[in-house]
Structure 1
Amino acid sequence: MQSSFSQILIALLLLFFSGSLLANVPKEIPVSELKPSLTHQKALLLTTRVMKRYHYKNHKLDNSFSKEILKKYLQMLDPNKSFFLKSDINEFERLYSNRLDDDIKNARLDASFAIFKRFRERVDKRMNKAVELVDYPFDFTLDEKYLIDREDAEWAATQKALDSLWRKRVKNDTLALHLMDKDDKEIKEKLTKRYEGTQRRTHQMSADDVFQTFMNAYTGALEPHTGYMLPHNAENFDITMRLSLQGIGAVLKSDNEYTSIQSVVPGGPADKSGLLHAGDKVIGVAQGKSGEMVDVIGWRLQNVVEKIRGKKGSTVRLNIILKKSGSSEITKEIVLVRDKIKLEEQAVKSSVIETPDGMQGKRIGVIDVPTFYRDFQGASSGNKNFRSTTRDVRKALKELQGKGVDGIVIDLRDNGGGSLTEATELTGLFIKSGPIVQVRDYSGGIEAERDPDPELVYSGPLAVMVNRNSASASEIFSGAIQDYGRGIIIGEPTFGKGTVQQLIDLSNYVSSGKDMGRLRLTIAQFFRVNGASTQHKGVTPDISFPTIIDSDYGERSYDNALPWSKIKAADYSDWKTARLDKAESSHKKRIKKDSGFIYLQGQSQLFHNLKNEKSVSLNEHERKAEWAKKENQRRELRNEYRRSIGLSPLSKADE
């Protein structure tokens, strides 16, 4: 399970931008300096006060909540259960499980710092032993397995058990590099740097870092989109929002000791290359065409971000573990050229496609909407030509109708949302009038956002394409189109992001002028006009496509995410124009013989088989055989599809 805000905060702020916001190499912090400050205590009290007053989710700061905070904090420090012993956990639970709520009310932070100091001790001990194991002559002919996913594993009961775990961990790391054709000397150098780097970065965590980690355990134990930013991170946020959007165009998150791709930005270098995908893990970063590939396994997220970001036109090479390889951990080096992500690349685009003759030669207009954008400054200043999603779609609709299209498809795949105003106004282009979405705030009050314009721009056949990454404003639009019966929703279940956040400057609550940081607070929830929330469940398509993305993805995967709920439906009129029964029947017949759908279903099955793999073989022959088997399965599936559409099959050499 994941924690949304705390995992991707730094990457989301910095990965797109050049500059030197975090250019200084942090120093190692003496243990004596790891103690809470008066500013930390005041920020804790302010956060508690604001959360109690304005957070959408009703909560009590009691012993039950205290247990959740402790659990979250330990999870954030040691997500793969590789450092703490079971005896440590038992001690922490005995001392703190029923105490953190009282500590927070009284601005006491000693428990969080005591736990972190123990964590630092455990990291020191483990990394010293790991470095010693680098010289161990491992036998890769033995039948051994290494558990790579320890989320559901128990904490190691003894030092001996932890020693065994780390022996297998180092053996797995060694084998992985060996299979990448690294010689013994290079393997030892890389692993020594990796383990010593993990130890060094733990020593570089300051009192501020410890405080922010605990604060995000506190806020994340309540709800995943609520989080705290230290003053300097808040300042970086302000700076980056004023800079040109440039970089590789990807959002990263922490994934145990790895850094993985959360998403790619439409129009960015990563998106255009087609080489980087959500779920891929970054294990190495190199600068330029010939720079040294630096191993980043075990690095802090912000340090990986610093390595990846850079100036427009510069080259970065990434060594990645492909998500599609599962436990086999197949690696690939990719080359990306950093670039400015132009707003035009995220603007609305339209095209016309001709359906096959067997489908009576229909002409379909496709409008790609990558995000819900709006030039708020231009709109407020009275600029009659300000850019917005709705304005651009309106123009595209009129152009497509002028070309005599037989229907329109709005493509919202990978559209993560944007302006609520745009979601509301865009829906209004396809209906005459009525409510679009209902919003319930932290006080329980409900307001309906309505179509502001009675003009009906397009009344013909309509379909909306969505996938797992369609979120927030995309879900408002597609949900409204579905509720009104205005069109057919096609694709995958959407992300399930149905809440509203506000960034609050805690300094506004003190008179001293001292910067207290920022609090990102969930203050409201969206509900469709039929009364159902888009939260957690998202929008279920009328016509479903096979997917290679987990069903446990998006909001469903976040710890403590708000559950799905329902309120009274708004007053609206169903168009009843979408012929779902006929569409569903035709779809079911089509997918049984359509080679494209058969290929998608095969990909989906392969992915889900890989997802269920929790361990990996430490036997070299077996590991190679696993790789070869998976590659052969993928190649054969792809070649079946190629043969079905008249193309010659690919050999291993062709790939």
Structure 2
Amino acid sequence: MRKILLVALVFSSQIWAQNNVAACKIISKINALIQKEHVQPKPVDDSLSVFVFDNLINDLDPARNLFFKSEYDSLAKNYRLKIDDLLQNEDCQFISTIENIYKKGLLRNKILLEKLATDSIDFSFRDTIRMYKKAFPVYMTESNFEKIWRKKIRFDVLTEVAGSSKNLDSIQTHFKSLSDYYKEIGIQNEMCKINNQLKRKSTIAEKVYSFFCTYFDPHTNYFSVDSKSNFVSSLSKERLSLGFLVTLNEKNQIIIDEIDPNGPAFKNGKLKKGDQILSIANEKETLKVTCASLEEIGELIISDANKIITLGIKRKGEKSFSVTLEKEVIKDEQNTVFSYVVEDKNKIGYIKIPSFYSNFESNDKTGCADDVGTEIVKLQNDNIDGLVIDLMDNGGGSMEEAIKLAGLFVHHGPISIVVDNTKKQQVIQDPYRGYLYKGPVIILVNGNSASASEFFAAILQDYNRAMVIGSSTLGKATMQTILPLESAEENFVKVTINKFYRITGKSHQSIGVIPDVQVPIIYESIVQKEKDYPTAFKNDVLPTSITFKPYVKNKLINQLAKNSQKRVFSSSYFKNIIGMNKKIDELVKNPKTIIPMQIDTVFEEQKAVTSLWESISSFKDESINLNVKNSSFNESLLGVYPSERTIKEAQIKALKNNHYLNEAIKIINDYFVLK
């Protein structure tokens, strides 16, 4: 027996050694690529070591209930300031060491949870739990290990029980049965998560690759061949898809929200809107939704490598059943340009650009810019007087598409300045002479408008070719490309190769594109911006002698902005948003740090949160009933493609009550009066 065990240990150590050598080679290649291609490379030093170590610990143990303080202290002493030296000496033993301690912690937690499953929890004694907004020190010891987990389980049970009914008296009457039920479910879910982590192929090396990359800036990152394929697919309007969209309900259950009539889910015929997804499986593994992270679920569903997916489904009033679907390449309606006409004092065109998509891996170079051009032609056939371009929640995409799109609105001239790691300035010129559209333009943006969206909006704003309204954008003024570590490699790095500047020499990096008219947007103060990332580039300015001529006088722009801001300030709708945001800020930014663990206290906390979300949901339904309709050409197309009418009707319904579109229309109406 000892001989067998010895052989197993030697064999295991050989595998670890091989894995460590392979990991070091990959990191070495990543560093070589970054140092060569990155717009602003940094040295590999103690700062990198601290960044990688701290982020790895926070990722592996965010709740501080996995590592003992003694284990953390030992790891910190050996590695926190030394990972850079170890990498340069091609010694990646620290990866397997951390992984061993991580798995030891998982097994330790599993054994304790098995014990807690048979123990009773005393809910009668007075206790409190402390909440933290950010990562906090590792503090768990062998002596307080069980106490910490008991407190966690107790609070989780109280939270579930408090959310089970709106009647506190009813909860207190049935507390024993409710708490027993939610304790059993909660521990099962925790055990399931641990078992998933123990079964999953090691990802710690990939986490190290990723944190090594993001040390240089937030957008430089490591891609495996599969994640690279998924990323590229996400920037296309056609992708492998199961043909449905999901949402989370109030219980954090995954519910089928929409079914694409052109997709495999609709053709299969077994799924319905409102079905709950219980499990997701490919040919190798099955994930139970209740005990898997949203990231794991998303990875399994989205990955192009998983073409056949089996779903476990629960439907009210029926037995659970399974559905197997094979993905098909279909048009992604959520990632495709669309347009409508709004009849008001003037006839206004509206174009929504969800992302700057492009067919990256196809000889067909058509993309977002061509699709916008097509929609503009359709709208002009209906004799529109102005145009609203909606870039809200547009996270960017292809910079080439953004350049082409700007060229449709600018006659000719410089549109941006790009700088690479040689510090040489390259002026990007409008790729086309002439306009496709000459009329007034309003651009809608918010804190999720990023990268290519900001690039495009900034160009039209600098030329006074469009007014920008909404809230400040994300603040990303960098450009990335995906490069293989070697030819025929299965490892890639998305590396930041350029910084771009406005033709004024200014940059929106870190500060975002500042709208001409600031309009309150729900949740705007809690949206994570570029400046919130610790490794983001700072804002700077380039000296430049570029000359250009704005299309509209600043005096007119300023007067339109002044009139609009006055309307916004007096609007009851936008005043309510300001009030909602204050409440959200109080809840998110200033949470109670210490909460008494009694059912009445937790119930009141839940009630306050539920009340806030309910008021937000009902508030969104405020009606203004804009007269939105299809363009004549698109209406005729519905005769050929009737299956798209349902999607169009849902989009029109949402736009009828869009207050940002409403304000944009008023600005265009104002423009014709002032002009």
TM-score between the two structures when normalised by the length of structure 1: 0.74
**Rounded Cα–Cα distance in structure 1 between residues aligned with 2:57 and 2:140:** 16
**Rounded Cα–Cα distance in structure 1 between residues aligned with 2:486 and 2:242:** 31
Number of aligned residue pairs: give it: 564
**Rounded Cα–Cα distance in structure 1 between residues aligned with 2:259 and 2:519:** 21
**Rounded Cα–Cα distance in structure 2 between residues aligned with 1:639 and 1:233:** 38
Aligned pairs for 1:223-372 within 5 A: 223-230=217-224, 244-247=239-242, 285-286=278-279, 294-297=288-291, 299=293, 301-302=295-296, 305-306=299-300, 342-343=331-332, 346-355=335-344, 361-372=345-356
1:417 alignment partner AA: G
**Rounded Cα–Cα distance in structure 1 between residues aligned with 2:513 and 2:587:** 26
Kindly indicate which of the two structures has a greater share of residues assigned to helix. Answer: 2
Contact 1:286 1:318 in 2 (8 A): no
1:40–1:152 distance in 2 versus 1, CA, 3 Å: closer
1:585 pairs with one of 554, 562, 568: 562
Q: What's the counterpart of residue 215 of structure 1?
A: 209
Contact 1:79 1:151 in 2 (8 A): no
Secondary structure of 2:524's aligned partner: coil
1:575–1:317 distance in 2 versus 1, CA, 3 Å: farther
1:315–1:590 distance in 2 versus 1, CA, 3 Å: farther
Contact 2:396 2:452 in 1 (8 A): yes
1:317–1:226 distance in 2 versus 1, CA, 3 Å: farther
Q: What's the counterpart of residue 518 of structure 2?
A: 544
Q: What's the counterpart of residue 138 of structure 2?
A: 155
1:450 alignment partner AA: Q
Give, in angstroms, the shift of residue 480 of structure 1: 0.7
Contact 1:268 1:341 in 2 (8 A): no
Residue deviations 1:325-376 (CA, integer Å, cap 9, x gap): xxxxxxxxxxxx9996514653332222234xxxxx2332212222223456
Q: What's the counterpart of residue 572 of structure 1?
A: 548
**Rounded Cα–Cα distance in structure 1 between residues aligned with 2:561 and 2:342:** 22
Residue deviations 1:13-54 (CA, integer Å, cap 9, x gap): xxxxxxxxxxxxxxxx97885443443232222222222222
Secondary structure of 1:48's aligned partner: helix
Give, in angstroms, the shift of residue 407 of structure 1: 1.9
**Rounded Cα–Cα distance in structure 1 between residues aligned with 2:280 and 2:178:** 22
Contact 2:65 2:140 in 1 (8 A): no
Give, in angstroms, the shift of residue 596 of structure 1: 2.0
**Rounded Cα–Cα distance in structure 2 between residues aligned with 1:171 and 1:596:** 41
1:199 pairs with one of 180, 194, 203: 194
1:500 pairs with one of 469, 476, 479: 479
1:151–1:249 distance in 2 versus 1, CA, 3 Å: farther
Secondary structure of 2:42's aligned partner: coil
1:604 alignment partner AA: N
1:202–1:633 distance in 2 versus 1, CA, 3 Å: closer
Deviates more, 1:144-153 or 1:96-105: 144-153
**Rounded Cα–Cα distance in structure 2 between residues aligned with 1:431 and 1:55:** 31
Unmatched tracts of structure 1, length 5 or more: 1-28, 253-257, 271-282, 320-336, 356-360, 647-655
Aligned pairs for 1:85-100 within 5 A: 85-100=68-83
2:100 pairs with one of 99, 113, 117: 117
Give, in angstroms, the shift of residue 611 of structure 1: 0.9
Give, in angstroms, the shift of residue 164 of structure 1: 3.4
Q: What's the counterpart of residue 76 of structure 1?
A: 59
Secondary structure of 2:483's aligned partner: strand
1:644–1:464 distance in 2 versus 1, CA, 3 Å: closer
Give, in angstroms, the shift of residue 472 of structure 1: 1.4
1:131 pairs with one of 111, 114, 138: 114
1:475 pairs with one of 440, 450, 454: 454
Aligned pairs for 1:378-389 within 5 A: 387-389=366-368
Q: What's the counterpart of residue 320 of structure 2?
A: none
Q: What's the counterpart of residue 503 of structure 2?
A: 529
1:583 alignment partner AA: L
Q: What's the counterpart of residue 169 of structure 2?
A: none
Deviates more, 1:159-168 or 1:528-537: 159-168
Give, in angstroms, the shift of residue 525 of structure 1: 1.6
Q: What's the counterpart of residue 560 of structure 1?
A: 535
1:416–1:295 distance in 2 versus 1, CA, 3 Å: closer
Deviates more, 1:225-234 or 1:410-419: 225-234
Give, in angstroms, the shift of residue 295 of structure 1: 4.9
1:190 alignment partner AA: I
Give, in angstroms, the shift of residue 516 of structure 1: 5.8
Give, in angstroms, the shift of residue 639 of structure 1: 6.8
**Rounded Cα–Cα distance in structure 2 between residues aligned with 1:88 and 1:122:** 10
Secondary structure of 2:340's aligned partner: strand
1:484–1:162 distance in 2 versus 1, CA, 3 Å: farther
1:605–1:140 distance in 2 versus 1, CA, 3 Å: farther
Contact 2:117 2:187 in 1 (8 A): yes
Contact 2:21 2:90 in 1 (8 A): no
Contact 1:72 1:220 in 2 (8 A): no
Secondary structure of 2:72's aligned partner: helix
1:585–1:644 distance in 2 versus 1, CA, 3 Å: same
1:161–1:492 distance in 2 versus 1, CA, 3 Å: farther
**Rounded Cα–Cα distance in structure 2 between residues aligned with 1:123 and 1:413:** 42
2:40 pairs with one of 57, 72, 76: 57
Q: What's the counterpart of residue 517 of structure 1?
A: 491
1:637–1:106 distance in 2 versus 1, CA, 3 Å: closer
Q: What's the counterpart of residue 469 of structure 2?
A: 490
2:399 pairs with one of 413, 416, 420: 420
Unmatched tracts of structure 2, length 5 or more: 1-10, 165-176, 264-275, 316-324, 626-675
Residue deviations 1:427-486 (CA, integer Å, cap 9, x gap): 122221112222211222221221111112333222100112211111111011111122
Contact 1:486 1:577 in 2 (8 A): no
Give, in angstroms, the shift of residue 251 of structure 1: 11
Give, in angstroms, the shift of residue 192 of structure 1: 3.3
**Rounded Cα–Cα distance in structure 1 between residues aligned with 2:222 and 2:616:** 46
**Rounded Cα–Cα distance in structure 2 between residues aligned with 1:468 and 1:318:** 36
Q: Which has the larger radius of gyration?
A: 2
TM-score between the two structures when normalised by the length of structure 2: 0.72
Give, in angstroms, the shift of residue 400 of structure 1: 3.2
1:284–1:151 distance in 2 versus 1, CA, 3 Å: farther
1:552–1:173 distance in 2 versus 1, CA, 3 Å: same
Q: What's the counterpart of residue 652 of structure 1?
A: none
1:352 alignment partner AA: V
Corresponding position: 1:408 with 2:387: yes
2:432 pairs with one of 439, 442, 453: 453
Deviates more, 1:366-375 or 1:301-310: 301-310
Identity of aligned residues (%): 23
Residue deviations 1:100-128 (CA, integer Å, cap 9, x gap): 11211121101222122222222322332
Alpha-carbon RMSD: 4.3
Residue deviations 1:56-105 (CA, integer Å, cap 9, x gap): 22311122322222222222222333322333333223222332112111
1:411 alignment partner AA: D
Corresponding position: 1:169 with 2:152: yes
Residue deviations 1:228-285 (CA, integer Å, cap 9, x gap): 2346766887999999431477899xxxxx9999xx9999999xxxxxxxxxxxx984
**Rounded Cα–Cα distance in structure 1 between residues aligned with 2:540 and 2:147:** 46
2:478 alignment partner AA: T
